[in-house]
Every structure is written in structure tokens, then in C-alpha cells.
Amino acid sequence: MTGLQKLLNAAAALCGFYALVDGFTTLSPALLLAAGLVVVCGMRLSPALAAALPVVIRPQLDLVISLIAACAVLAALQDGMVGAVWGIAIAAWLHGWLAVEKTMADDADATGFNWVVSLGVPLFFGFWLLFFWEALTIGLGIPTVLLPPPSMIGARLVTSTAILMADFQQTFLKAVLAGYAIGCGSAFVVAILVDRSNFLRRGFLPIGNFISALPIIGVAPIMVMWFGFDWQSKAAVVVVMTFFPMMVNTLSGLSAASAMERDLLDTYAAGYWQTLFKLQLPAAMPFIFNALKINSTLALIGAIVAEFFGTPIVGIGFRISTEVGRMNLDMVWAEIAVAALAGSASYGALSLLERRITFWHPSYRTK
Amino acid sequence: MLRQKLLPVLTIIAAIAVIWYGFTVYLNAPWQLDQYEKSATEWSMTDLVRDTMAHDRPVLPAPHQVVAEIWKTTVKKKVTSKRSLIYHSWITLSSTLLGFVMGTFTGMMLAIFIVENRAMDKSLMPWIIASQTIPILAIAPMIIVVLNAIGLSGLLPKALISTYLSFFPIAVGMVKGLRSPDPMLIDLMRTYNCSRWQLFITLRLPSSIPYLFTSMKIAIAISLVGAIVGELPTGAVAGLGARLLSGSYYGQTIQIWSALLTAATLAALLVIAVNIAAQITQRMMGAPK
Amino acid sequence: MVIKADKLNLDFETNDGVVHALRDLDLEIGAGEFVSLIGPSGCGKTTFLRVIADLETPTGGSIAVNGQPPEQARLARAYGYVFQAPALLSWRTIARNISLPLEIMGLSSGEQQERVERMINLVGLDGFGGKFPWQLSGGMQQRASIARALAFDADLLLMDEPFGALDEIVRDHLNEQLLQLWKKTGKTICFVTHSIPEAVYLSTKIVVMSPRPGRITDVITSDLPDDRPLDIRETPKFLEIAQRVREGLREGHADD
Ligand SMILES: Nc1ncnc2c1ncn2[C@@H]1O[C@H](COP(=O)(O)OP(=O)(O)OP(=O)(O)O)[C@@H](O)[C@H]1O
Ligand SMILES: [Mg+2]
């Protein structure tokens, strides 16, 4: 084991030991078992044991211990979190980290794509995030009007599906998608037109860059005044927000091809459209995807914020602002979860598409 | 040089101004025509143009109306006055800067962990990206309410929104920068048998500086957005965001636009400031000017 | 005359003054000639080639390609150009890179395929057609770029140090192949190189250039036989011509 791994192991064993001593009479059998396991595992630090039983330094062992301990803690949450339970929770987390460290060390020399590392490890981290959220909110008795535990939010997601779907449809399927398509599409066309003239490009690029840095979201009240309360005004905000990043990136992308590549096409006496489709657009793809990804989150934010300034009684932003007023924080978080899922899904889909289309770019090349 | 760079930009700005004036007349005309009809006044085109630019609550104010409003609320008002835009800008600016500093620090720390530890890289990176798909701006009001409830009020809650937004570009850019040294140079350092720490200080950190500054430009702009949105809904009484909100409540379009334009100016100044800092740093690091 | 340059001048305006890249260049290249341009780095070889290809506009004098201004020659697709670097598009496979000019000229896909296969075979890249440029070594990339220039069968070939990145063996092999191709097809070839033996081995005419300002110091007509096995490079005649080229190069350097 490396230094860091030993440290994690020792710290976990200490936490477990503390839990045993502190809560020997009060802890449930499951928790006692977990604490005992953690302490026993601490003995791996003795070189003799590690040498005699190589199996004890397997990452799987740590994974199992961490999950057992985490489950025991979650089961005991309702009875109140005493010091000993915190000890086990922390020990569980340390073992989880240890398992990841070891998996990484095993994987360090491996080449190629590893599902466990690329998907399993982040998901595992997400699990611990939720675990501590749950443990802290319930264990510390945080009022649910401040921060509801994930379990409560999950329950909301299941019971209020109809409302959530309606809001999702109003905000995402109507405002965001329409605004995103119009904003990105028109910016793309404008950039191609502007790129034909050196003069215009020199004017539009700095101005577009400047406007992209502005708090454009501030136009939301104006758009609501102009385009009314329904989704059209939200789409308009999304259009304005996504337009400039897309235009600037497409413009930079269109001039990304190297001078030599342009010369090459010149020697073939290639026409404007041929140069555009065979050289400029493929070379611009990484830039365009960059903008599409930035815009996917901007669009969601734009649509939701615009709903704060007036909306029919449906929509993610509407629901968030009204439910905050009613102190129904679980509903608010359920809406946030829906928005985050939609955002992550769009971002992920765009990233996959980007990987497919710009596979040739140095950041993706596979040997 | 000047003609190459400035002329195109000025041309576009002039074109925007012309279009803006055009829309001012077009958008404000219906109401004005209505007015004429009611009072049965004769009107000519010049009257219409003049009158559409003199509304109190126009659909779209003319640029000069906005500029006049800014002039009135900056130069003509005492800085401490609640109606002074400078006062409101200062409120917004202070939380922007606080958030930016915290965000930059967080982002850099995260980047260092990610580059130095593979487990951190795999665990954190996807979540850092996912963190930005939470429409934080959209829930900023709620967060501020919650933070107020646990006793955090004033500058800090708004600054935390800015922090959340600005740590992301910093972390991503810094990771890229810390990984940017040529593999050949890293191999060279290996031949000197240098420690991880030495490698970090002598090679990785200096190579990351240009990336850091590029990210900081994005981060400071987005910090400002965060601060403004953080001021929007809490019934906040001060700051550019509060001006936007009260403007929209009372249909004071001129006030909205002047707050927007002030925010734009502020953003420009902040980005320029980062730019200057970048140039000074890179000059000190021996970059040609 | 395929190329006729008359008092050709080209100055680059740069931030710190004017660079005389070409000064009073007079040169005539007849149909079917194999002309090498040789000279130290920065003497304007690439620039001259780019003027012929209409990628650069001369600031003085005149130049004609096939009796036309270079622009018309370019629009008539009169030449193939091999750049100093491979310049392959990284999102296209090797085969699709080679077919790029054919696509632009609107050839039928059947013909494209047939020619691409022939070219890949000619430069010895069989089996690599489906690979992407970045999956190939530098030398292989350069061979692909040569194949691309040969693909559309122009009568004039402009080659800017095409073999600079190759190892000696492959270079010899490609030199032989190029010579055979030239003899078989009767193309006119304008070839930039840094290597004296390569220039002498390939050319019917060797143009020696010198820098600052870029100008021609010597034009050597080679009387080596048309049939040139590789070991011709050990014959006294070959060495004699090589010696003359070397002296020309040295002279150019002397007035630095
Ligand atoms: N676009 C340009 N702008 C300014 N100066 C240039 C430009 N292109 C070339 N030069 C200058 O013109 C001169 C000739 O350049 P050129 O590329 O023709 O040299 P070369 O003989 O091909 O050199 P090498 O053998 O290294 O390829 C050099 O001094 C170079 O600095
Ligand atoms: Mg050259």
C-alpha cells in the first residue's frame, strides 16, 4: 500500500475504534458489526498480515466494508446520530476512498477505456455525496424547510411526477428547445455570412466576445414585456443568451483551418462552398460543439430565470418561485433535480456527439 | 493597425445604434399614434420621431434617453444616495469581487487535487461538470433565502452564488494548464530526478498561468452575472439586480436599460482589469510584449 | 515554355522593415524538364514556388505559367503542389485525403476510387488507406501528400522538399520512382531540395539560389543520361556536377 492508502486505512480504523469504545452498549448489532469490520481491517497495516494474506489488500474488500457500514448508518439514521455513528460513517467513507485509490492504482498502467473507472468511480462518488447529504440533514436534524434530505426529494419525484412533467414540458420542451434551436441556428448562419467579409469579421468578433461576457440574462424582464407571459418570451431570452456564444465560436472556428490547408484548397481552385464544406466547417466543429455545450446550460438558466418575471401557472421557474414561498423545499429540489437531469443529459448527449464527430481532434485521438 | 481593428468595431457599433433608434420609433409608435388619435392632433413624421423618443415609459427607450438617465443617476446624484447608480454598482461589485476571489481559490485548489491525484480526477471531474447543469442562477433566490435563515446575510450569500459560478471555468482551465507542459519537458525533469513538488512548482504552475488568466476573464464576467441575479428576487433593496427588478415592477424601462448598460460597463471594466493583470504577470514571467 | 519568370521581384512588408524574398529572378522552364531549386534556408525557394502556384503575388516583374498568368493556370488546375509539411486534413482518412482534389474537380466516385488505389500503391501505403493521418508516421504522411498531388495528373508538379522528412532508404526508393514517373509521363517538375545529391540525381536543370535578397546565382544543366540507376551517384560525372552545385552554394554564402 502507498502512503496515502495506509493513512486512509489507519484513519478509518481509528474512527471504527472510537465508535466501538464510545457506543459499545448503545449501538445496534449492525453498526457494531460494521465498526468491528473496520477495526479488523485496520490490522492489514501490519506487514506480516499483509504478506501472509495478499487478499486483504484487494480493493473489493474495502468496497464491501464501506457499503456495509454505509447501509448500517443509513438504517440507523432515524434513531438519531450519536458520536459513534458519525465515527462509522466517516470510516465507511474512508474505506470507499481507499477502494477507489486502489482501483486507480491497479488501473494506472492499463490502456484503453475502462468502464469501472470512467463510469463506476464517478457514480460511487455521487453515492457518497448523497449519503452525507442524507446523514447530515437527518442526523443533525436540519429543518426540511432549509434543506430536505435526498430521500424526501426522491419521494417527491415519484409522487409528483405529473406536475413535474408538465413543468418540464413547458420550460424545457417548449421554451428551451425552441430558443436553443433558433438562437444557435441563427447565430451559425450569421457567422457564416459574416465570415465572408474580413471587415465584418473584425467588427463582429470583438463585439460578440464582449456581449457574451455581459449579464444578458438581464433582458429577461424586457422580453417578458415584449413577448408576453407564455413560453415565447422565455424562448426569446434563450435566443438572446445563446446567440452570441454560438456566433463568436463559429466565427473563430471558421478561421481555425491552417494557412497551409487553405493554400492547398486554393491550389485546387476550390470554390467558396467547396472550401466551406470540405475544410472550414469540419475544422470549426470543435469550436461549434464548445458553444453548443456552453449554450445547453445557458439556455436552461435563461428559461427558468425568465419565468420569475411572469409566467402562466406552469413551468420549472414558476414552480420554484411559488414553492419557495410555501416552504415546500422538497418540491423545489425535485424541480432542480429535473432541471439538472435535463441539463446533464443534454450535455452528455452533446459530448457523445462531439466525440463521434470530432474524433480526429487531438483531445480525443485514440492511438 | 487602428484602421484594421477600430474601424470595423466602430462601424458595427454605429450600425447597432442606428438599428436601435429605428426600433425605438417602430416599437413606440403604436402608443404614440393612439395618443395622437385621442387628442386629435395633427402629426407629421418628424413629430412622431421626436415624440417616440420622449416617452416616460417607452417600450424601448432611445440610447440617448438611457445615457441621460445614467448621467442623471451617477454624476448628478450623491454617491451615498439610494438612487445613485454608483452606489448600486458598488454593492454589486463588492459581492462580485468577493465571489470571484473565493471562486478562483476553490477552482485552483480543485484543479491541483485533480491533477495530482487520479482518484480525485475520476471522482470529481464529472461532478464538477454536472454541477454547472444545475441552473444555479435560477435557484439563487431560494439559496439566498435559505442562507438568510441560517444567519448568513448581506454580502456573503450573493458572493456564494458568484463563487459557485466562477470556480468552474477556473477549475477546468487550470486543469488544462497544469497538464499543458510538453511531455518532453516532463521527461526532462524526470531525468533530473526532481520531486513531484519541484515538478509542480518549476514546470506545471508556470505553464498554467496563461490558462488561468483566460479562465479568470470568463470567471469574473460570470461572477458579475451571479451577483446581479443574486440580487433579483430576495426583495433586495440595493444593487444593479435590485434596480432591474424594481424597474420591471413599475414598468420603468429606462431604469432597466440604464442598469443593464451600467452592468455591461462594469463587466467590460472588470475584464479589462483582469487583462491588465495578465499582461503584467506575463511580462514579469518574461513573455515578449 | 511551361514557366517563364522575367525580372521577378517579391518583397514582404513586415513590422520591422521589408524582406526582399525574391530579387530580379529570370528563369525559363521548358516542357518535360525536371528542375531542382537548391539553396540555403530562407533564400526564397518556397516563395518562388508559391508565386508559380498563385499563392503569392509578385511585387515586380512578370511570370507566366503555360503562357498564362498564374491565376488562370490555377483555375485551370494546371499543377499539383506538394507542401513542405504534409497538410493532410485530420478528419479524413488517407484515402479520402487523396481523393479530396478529385472530389473538388467533380470526378465520378468510381474513377476516384480507382485512382486513389493506384496512388496509394504507387507510394507504398497499401493497407493504410483507411487510417487517419495522425495514425501514421511523419514520412508516411508525406508520402500520402505526394500521392494526393499526383492523383489528379496535372502536367506540372511543384514539390517543396517532399522527401525532407523521409529516411535515406525510402528517400532513394521514392527518388527512383519519381524519376520513372517523370520519364513515363513527361511531366514538368519543379522540385525544391536541400540535398545536393538528390538535386543532381533527379534533375535536368539545377537552379542554385542565395539569400538576402533571394536571387539565382547559377543555373546548371545536367548532361547525365536519362537512364539513371542509383549507383550513378558514384560516377565522376555526377561528382563533378555536384561539385559545381556546391561551389555555387558557397559563392552565395560568401557575400553574406
Ligand atoms: N508571409 C511572409 N511574410 C514575411 N516574410 C516572409 C513570408 N514568407 C516568407 N518570408 C520571408 O521570405 C524569405 C524566403 O522565405 P522562403 O519560405 O521562400 O524560404 P525557403 O527558401 O523556402 O526556406 P526553407 O529552405 O527553410 O524552406 C525568408 O526570409 C522569410 O522570412
Ligand atoms: Mg521552404
| Alpha-carbon span B228 to B239, nearest angstrom | 7
Mean pLDDT of B68-86: 78
Write out the residue range of the structural domain in which residue B37 sits.
2-57
Q: Do A260 and C83 touch (CB under 8 A)?
A: yes
- What are residue C220's DSSP bridge partners? C206
Complex ipTM:
0.81
Pair B108, B148 in one domain: yes
Pair B203, B254 in one domain: yes
Q: pLDDT tens digits for A41-94?
A: 888 777 777 777 777 777 788 888 888 888 888 888 777 667 788 888 888 888
Q: Alpha-carbon dihedral of residues A247, A248, A249, A254, nearest 10 degrees?
A: 80
- Assess whether pLDDT exceeds 80 at residue A326: yes
Nearest-CA residue for ligand 1 atom 31 is C42
Mean pLDDT of B244-249: 77
Q: Do A122 and B127 touch (CB under 8 A)?
A: yes
Return the percentage of chain C with pLDDT > 70, whole number: 98
Mean pLDDT of B140-148: 78
Angle between helix B85-116 and B240-249 (nearest 10) = 120
Whether B68 is covered by a domain: the verdict is no
| Alpha-carbon span C182 to C187, nearest angstrom | 6
Pair B109, B185 in one domain: yes
| Alpha-carbon span C213 to C210, nearest angstrom | 7
Whether B64 is covered by a domain: the verdict is no
Whether B51 is covered by a domain: the verdict is yes
Q: pLDDT tens digits for A257-277?
A: 888 899 999 989 889 999 999
Q: Do B253 and A225 touch (CB under 8 A)?
A: yes
Q: C86 C-alpha to center of ligand 2: Å?
A: 13
Per mean pLDDT, which range of A104-113, A220-229, C132-141 is the poorest? Answer: A104-113
Angle between helix A161-168 and A329-357 (nearest 10) = 50
Nearest-CA residue for ligand 1 atom 8 is C47
Report in angstroms the alpha-carbon separations of A78 from A74, A75, A129, B128, C195: 8, 7, 19, 31, 84
- What are residue C27's DSSP bridge partners? C5
Handedness of CA B222, B228, B232, B236 (dihedral sign): positive
Q: Alpha-carbon dihedral of residues A277, A283, A287, A288, nearest 10 degrees?
A: 20
pLDDT band at A163 (very low <50, low <70, confident <90, very high): very high
Nearest-CA residue for ligand 1 atom 3 is C12
For C129, phi then psi, to 5°, come to: -60, -30
- What are residue C210's DSSP bridge partners? C215
Which among B127, B263, B268 is the nearest to A218, CB-wise? B263
Q: Do A316 and B138 touch (CB under 8 A)?
A: yes
- Which H/E stretch holds residue B5? helix B2-39
Whether B141 is covered by a domain: the verdict is yes
Nearest-CA residue for ligand 1 atom 9 is C47
Q: Do B122 and A126 touch (CB under 8 A)?
A: no
Identify the pLDDT of residue C35. Answer: 94
Pair B51, B127 in one domain: no
- Assess whether pLDDT exceeds 70 at residue C148: yes
Mutate to test the pocket of ligand 1, among C19, C160, C249 (most ligand atoms within 8 A of CB): C19
Pair B124, B262 in one domain: yes
Per mean pLDDT, which range of A111-125, A194-208, C55-69, C198-212 is the poorest? Answer: A111-125
Shortest CA distance to B226 belongs to which of B277, B157, B126, B131? B157
Domain ranges in chain A? 3-142, 156-357
Which among A263, A269, A278 is the nearest to C100, CB-wise? A278
Pair B39, B127 in one domain: no
Mean pLDDT, chain A, as a whole number? 86
- What are residue C157's DSSP bridge partners? C80, C189
Residue C227 DSSP class: -
What single-letter amino acid sits at A139? Answer: G
Mean pLDDT of B228-252: 76
Domain boundary among B57, B73, B102: B57
Q: Work out which ligand 1 atom sits closest to the CA atom of C194.
A: 25
Q: And the C-alpha cell for A123?
A: 457514480
- Assess whether pLDDT exceeds 60 at residue B234: no
Pair B45, B169 in one domain: no
Task: Give chain B positions within 8 Å (CB) of A331.
Answer: none
Residues with beta carbon inside 6 Å of ligand 1?
C 12, 14, 19, 21, 41-47, 84, 214
Q: How far is A63 from chain B (nearest CA, A)?
A: 14
Any C CB within 8 A of A259 CB: no
Q: Do A278 and C103 touch (CB under 8 A)?
A: yes
User: How many domains does one find in chain B?
Assistant: 2
Mean pLDDT of C227-231: 83
Nearest-CA residue for ligand 1 atom 19 is C42
Pair B185, B44 in one domain: no
Mean pLDDT of C55-66: 90
Q: What residue has cell string 429606462? A: B254
- Assess whether pLDDT exceeds 60 at residue C254: no
Distance between first and last Cα of chain C? 34
CATH of A156-357 given 1.20.1730.10, 1.10.1200.10, 1.10.3720.10, 3.40.50.970: 1.10.3720.10
| Alpha-carbon span A156 to B3, nearest angstrom | 61
Shortest CA distance to A323 belongs to which of A153, A150, A170, A172? A153
pLDDT band at C116 (very low <50, low <70, confident <90, very high): very high
Which residues neighbour B11 within 8 Å (Cβ) at sequence distance 6 or greater? A199, A203
Helix ranges (DSSP H) in B63-135? 63-74, 85-116, 118-131
Q: Which residue has the higher pLDDT, A289 or C139?
A: A289
Identify the pLDDT of residue A113. Answer: 65
Cβ-based neighbour number of residue C144 at 10 Å: 25
Pair B29, B142 in one domain: no
Pair B117, B162 in one domain: yes
Q: How far is A182 from chain C (nearest CA, A)?
A: 28
Which among B118, B142, B145 is the nearest to A104, CB-wise? B118
B193: alpha, beta or left? (left if phi > 0; alpha if psi -120 to 50): left
| Alpha-carbon span B27 to A127, nearest angstrom | 53
Return the percentage of chain B with pLDDT > 70, whole number: 96
Task: Give chain C positions within 8 Å (CB) of A266.
Answer: 53-55, 74
Whether B280 is covered by a domain: the verdict is yes
Identify the pLDDT of residue B40. Answer: 79
Pair B26, B147 in one domain: no
- Please give the residue of chain C at the shortest CA–CA distance from A281: C91
Identify the pLDDT of residue A367. Answer: 41
Nearest-CA residue for ligand 1 atom 2 is C12
Mean pLDDT of C196-215: 89
Whether B66 is covered by a domain: the verdict is no
| Alpha-carbon span A17 to C110, nearest angstrom | 77
Whether B22 is covered by a domain: the verdict is yes
Whether B89 is covered by a domain: the verdict is yes
Pair B111, B247 in one domain: yes
Q: Work out which ligand 1 atom sits closest to the CA atom of C212.
A: 29
Q: C85 C-alpha to center of ligand 2: Å?
A: 10
| Alpha-carbon span A128 to A70, nearest angstrom | 9
Q: Do C83 and A279 touch (CB under 8 A)?
A: no
- Assess whether pLDDT exceeds 90 at residue B203: no
Neighboring chains of B (3 or more beta-carbon pairs < 8 A): A
Contact in structure between C176 and C230 (CB atoms under 8 Å) = yes
What single-letter amino acid sits at B239? Answer: G
Q: pLDDT tens digits for A11-27?
A: 888 888 888 888 777 77
- Assess whether pLDDT exceeds 80 at residue A164: yes
Which residues neighbour C117 within 8 Å (Cβ) at sequence distance 6 or greater? C129
Identify the pLDDT of residue B235. Answer: 58
Q: How far is A308 from chain B (nearest CA, A)?
A: 8
Contact in structure between C58 and C9 (CB atoms under 8 Å) = yes
- Assess whether pLDDT exceeds 60 at residue C256: no
Return the percentage of chain C with pLDDT > 90, whole number: 29
pLDDT band at C192 (very low <50, low <70, confident <90, very high): very high
Q: Do A215 and B259 touch (CB under 8 A)?
A: no
Q: pLDDT tens digits for A165-214?
A: 999 999 999 999 999 999 999 999 999 999 999 889 889 988 888 888 77
- Please give the residue of chain B at the shortest CA–CA distance from A316: B138
Handedness of CA A154, A158, A160, A163 (dihedral sign): positive
Which residues neighbour A306 within 8 Å (Cβ) at sequence distance 6 or greater? A175, A220, A223, A224, A233, A234, A237, A238, A317
Return the percentage of chain A with pLDDT > 90, whole number: 29
Structural domains in chain C, CATH included, are: 3-78+155-254 (3.40.50.300), 84-153 (no CATH)
Q: How far is A22 from chain B (nearest CA, A)?
A: 31
Q: pLDDT tens digits for B104-130?
A: 999 999 999 998 888 888 888 888 888
Mean pLDDT of C226-250: 86
For C27, phi then psi, to 5°, come to: -160, 140
